C-alpha cells in the first residue's frame, strides 16, 4: 500500500509536506510510512479517502482496479464519482465507537486463486511471539526514592 500512496501523491503533483497537510496528518507520520518505519493504518486510509473521494478504495488497499473511480459518461467532461458511495462513505465511522447508523462493509481478503499470476499475491506471515512476563516493577516517588517489586515465581 505504501507504493500506492506514493503513486497517488505523485499523481496529485504534491510533495510529502503538502500531501500530509491535505490529509490532515502529521508530516512525520507520512515520512515514517515512506521510510518503512511504520505501516499505513486505517486512520491514514480514511484520511486519503476523505481528501480524495474519487480514489478507488480497492486500488488503495489491494492494488485492484484503476486508481480512480470516475463516471466516464459525465457530460461536462469533468470527472465525477460513480453512482456508488465514495470510498470514505464505504469505511466505518471510527470516530463514534457506538454508531448503529454507520454502514457495515465486509471486505473479503483476496485469495490466491483469484490471481492469474502468483506474483500478484502477497501472503502475510504470522509470527508467534512468546507471552511476555513481568520481571520487575519500579515506582519512583517525588522525594527521589523508589521501590522495586519482583513477582513471586
pLDDT interval class at 117 (50, 70, 90): low
CB 48 within 8 Å of CB 63:
no
Instruction: Give 15 or 117, the one with higher predicted confidence.
Output: 15
Rounded Cα distance between 58 and 68, Å, is: 10
pLDDT at 99: 44
Q: What is the pLDDT of residues 10-69, one digit of tens each?
A: 998 989 899 999 999 888 988 898 898 988 888 888 899 999 988 988 888 888 889 888
pLDDT at 78: 44
DSSP conformation class of 104? P
The beta strand positions in the chain, using DSSP E, are 137-140, 146-149
Q: What is the pLDDT of residues 52-101, one digit of tens each?
A: 988 988 888 888 889 888 654 444 444 444 444 444 444 444 554 444 44
The beta strand positions in 44-110, using DSSP E, are none
What is the pTM assigned to this prediction? 0.46
**Of 30, 81, 73, residue with least CA distance to 56:** 81
CB 44 within 8 Å of CB 29:
yes
Amino acid at each position: 500500500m505504501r507504493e500506492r500512496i506514493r503513486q497517488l501523491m505523485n499523481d496529485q503533483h504534491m510533495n510529502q509536506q503538502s500531501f500530509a497537510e491535505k490529509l490532515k496528518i502529521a508530516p512525520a507520520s507520512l515520512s515514517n510510512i515512506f521510510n518503512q518505519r511504520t505501516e499505513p493504518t486505517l486512520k491514514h486510509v480514511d484520511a486519503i479517502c476523505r481528501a480524495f473521494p474519487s480514489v478507488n478504495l480497492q486500488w488503495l488497499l489491494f492494488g485492484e482496479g484503476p486508481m480512480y473511480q470516475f463516471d466516464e459518461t459525465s457530460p461536462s467532461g469533468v470527472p465525477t464519482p460513480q453512482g456508488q458511495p465514495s470510498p470514505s462513505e464505504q469505511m466505518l465511522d471510527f470516530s463514534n465507537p457506538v454508531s448503529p447508523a454507520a454502514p457495515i462493509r465486509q471486505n473479503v481478503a483476496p485469495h490466491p486463486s483469484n490471481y492469474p499470476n502468483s506474483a500478484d499475491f502477497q501472503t502475510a506471515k504470522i509470527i508467534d511471539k512468546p507471552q511476555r512476563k513481568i520481571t520487575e516493577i519500579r515506582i519512583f516517588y517525588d522525594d527521589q526514592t523508589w521501590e522495586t517489586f519482583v513477582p513471586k515465581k
